[in-house]
Chains A and B, each alone.
Chain A
């Protein structure tokens, strides 16, 4: 009888220890990082490889909720600047069923393949997509940039 009690107590003790360890692990564990997000690289080859495109905020930082201008730089495969390209911009938030809150447009060509895109506005935090349809003497191609805020 006594030994049964001892086993029971030991079992209880072990169970309590397990609960304790689990509790400590749970309370001290680092917060799990965000799951791997979309590719947020700022320089990319266009979908059919016609151009190399770079897309950066003109001020260097993104300010949520403000109208901003970004620069899109286009080079050919050989590294030559792409001049006089026609560029159409679309995009949105893939997880929210909505497009862009503004209609950004190319407003200036700054030389050396650099185009100023004005009227961008990221109103929410989260995953945004910007798609550029590019057409020039080198041909037509598209590229998609992800912006995660």
Chain B
């Protein structure tokens, strides 16, 4: 009789101990290790921008990033939306520059590792991306001739020390751009090819300087990374590297049943690709079809990798060369965002459609069909406890 009780007690102990420890299969451990920040490879050189790793270019880029003079009315800079103390984003559903835009501001940690830029990938290099808001009438609303004149007047000496002599701007219009208002377009069309090329060259270098600065913005280690490191090395987790049962369940779901890791993979928690996940449109915004409309824009961009302003050879242009141009999967497909730091920067999705991570998880569990194209997401049975666990795990990527 005594023995029986002893045996039962032993069983209870075995079961309790078994439940209290993180219990991962070898495959799960391998996946968790692949997500750790320590597995992030060193940043590759950007051969399309020979100033990418030039400190003076990064310093000038930093100045320009925060300079309100880099906008039509002197009220907006890159940092207006990419706020330095808010993970370089703005907490708004859609960004507000000179006007109200249609998309959510992206955070910038690790941005230099992206193959495509913006939610729809309409630019193919960090420096080409940096140029785009400068001329967007809803963002910085300037024009490239005005920026070239401004650089000469304000930063001429710094510019020339990095990029070489500025062109002679005498006789060039103060405002001109192929993307501007009618007067600016007319002024641009009246310029000679050599003049346009001179302005474009200065404009491209502005982008290259800003990109050199942005390359320094990298993700920081989180609680998850400390946990993953301990799990990989077999060390006993201490302090905040100890995960609660809920966080462990969330991690297991993330890499298992909930299929999150399918797209949110690698140390940046993104596959750097575009997917239609059935995210609904915002009622009062213009129609937005995502990637399908962006492929033509990146092909037409004079600052793309095949363009005249690229440094280095075209061997760096594989992404553009092998880009998918016409496939139904591109309809309403948007970039997979990194989940690092996501928990502390609501709202979510490409136009801030969801105000909380609970809503995001509910959306992916429900997997409603897309209003256009085909959603890649399949419905999932997740209990309230499981949904809460997923959110608890996501928070460990922001602590």
Contact A16 B321 (CB under 8 A): no
Asked if B189 CB lies within 8 Å of chain A CBs, one says no
Given A20-B11, A23-B15, A102-B323, A9–B265 Cβ distance below 8 Å? no
- Find chain B residues with CB under 8 A from A31 CB: 25-27
Name the contact of B329 in the complex, choosing from A17, A24, A64, A97 (C-beta under 8 A).
Answer: A97
Asked if B4 CB lies within 8 Å of chain A CBs, one says yes
**A92 to B327 CA separation, bound complex (whole angstroms):** 11
Asked if B266 CB lies within 8 Å of chain A CBs, one says yes
Contact B11 A124 (CB under 8 A): no
Range for the number of chain B residues in contact with chain A: 20 to 34
Asked if A81 CB lies within 8 Å of chain B CBs, one says no
- Find chain B residues with CB under 8 A from A19 CB: 11
**A101 to B323 CA separation, bound complex (whole angstroms):** 8
**A119 to B317 CA separation, bound complex (whole angstroms):** 10
Q: How far is the CB of B161 from chain A (nearest CB, A)?
A: 35
Closest to A31 in B: B25
Q: How far is the CB of A148 from chain B (nearest CB, A)?
A: 13
- Find chain B residues with CB under 8 A from A99 CB: 324, 327, 329
Contact B4 A103 (CB under 8 A): no
Name the contact of B322 in the complex, choosing from A98, A104, A124 (C-beta under 8 A).
Answer: A104
Name the contact of B265 in the complex, choosing from A64, A96, A98, A119 (C-beta under 8 A).
Answer: A64
**Which residues 76-125 of A sit at the B interface, judged by CB distance below 8 A?**
92, 96-105, 118-119, 121, 123-125
Q: How far is the CB of A6 from chain B (nearest CB, A)?
A: 10
Asked if B318 CB lies within 8 Å of chain A CBs, one says yes
Contact A126 B266 (CB under 8 A): no
Asked if A40 CB lies within 8 Å of chain B CBs, one says no
Contact A103 B322 (CB under 8 A): yes
Contact A27 B14 (CB under 8 A): yes
Given A23-B14, A96-B376, A17–B318 Cβ distance below 8 Å? no
- Find chain A residues with CB under 8 A from B263 CB: 124
A-B contact pairs, 24 of them (CB 8 A): A13-B4, A16-B7, A20-B7, A20-B8, A20-B11, A23-B11, A23-B15, A27-B15, A31-B26, A31-B27, A64-B266, A67-B319, A92-B329, A96-B376, A97-B375, A98-B329, A99-B324, A101-B274, A102-B324, A118-B318, A119-B321, A119-B322, A124-B273, A125-B261
Given A16-B4, A125-B265, A118–B18 Cβ distance below 8 Å? no
| Most B C-beta atoms less than 10 A away, residue of A64, A99, A102, A123 | A123
**Which residues 272-330 of B sit at the A interface, judged by CB distance below 8 A?**
272-275, 318-319, 321-325, 327, 329
Asked if A65 CB lies within 8 Å of chain B CBs, one says yes
The 6 closest A-B pairs by CB, nearest first: A119-B322, A20-B11, A123-B271, A31-B25, A98-B329, A102-B322
**A98 to B271 CA separation, bound complex (whole angstroms):** 14
Contact B325 A103 (CB under 8 A): yes
Asked if B241 CB lies within 8 Å of chain A CBs, one says no
Contact A123 B319 (CB under 8 A): no
Contact A65 B266 (CB under 8 A): yes
- Find chain B residues with CB under 8 A from A126 CB: 262
Q: How far is the CB of A49 from chain B (nearest CB, A)?
A: 31
- Find chain B residues with CB under 8 A from A27 CB: 14-15, 18
Chain B, residues 1-41, CB within 8 Å of chain A (1/0): the string is: 10010011011001100100000011100000000000000
- Find chain B residues with CB under 8 A from A92 CB: 329
Name the contact of B7 in the complex, choosing from A17, A103, A118, A124 (C-beta under 8 A).
Answer: A17
Contact B318 A119 (CB under 8 A): yes
- Find chain B residues with CB under 8 A from A20 CB: 7-8, 10-11, 14
Closest to B261 in A: A125
Q: How far is the CB of A35 from chain B (nearest CB, A)?
A: 13
**Which residues 123-141 of A sit at the B interface, judged by CB distance below 8 A?**
123-126
Given A123-B271, A124-B271, A125-B262, A105–B376 Cβ distance below 8 Å? no
| Most A C-beta atoms less than 10 A away, residue of B261, B272, B329 | B329
Contact B272 A98 (CB under 8 A): no
Q: How far is the CB of A28 from chain B (nearest CB, A)?
A: 9
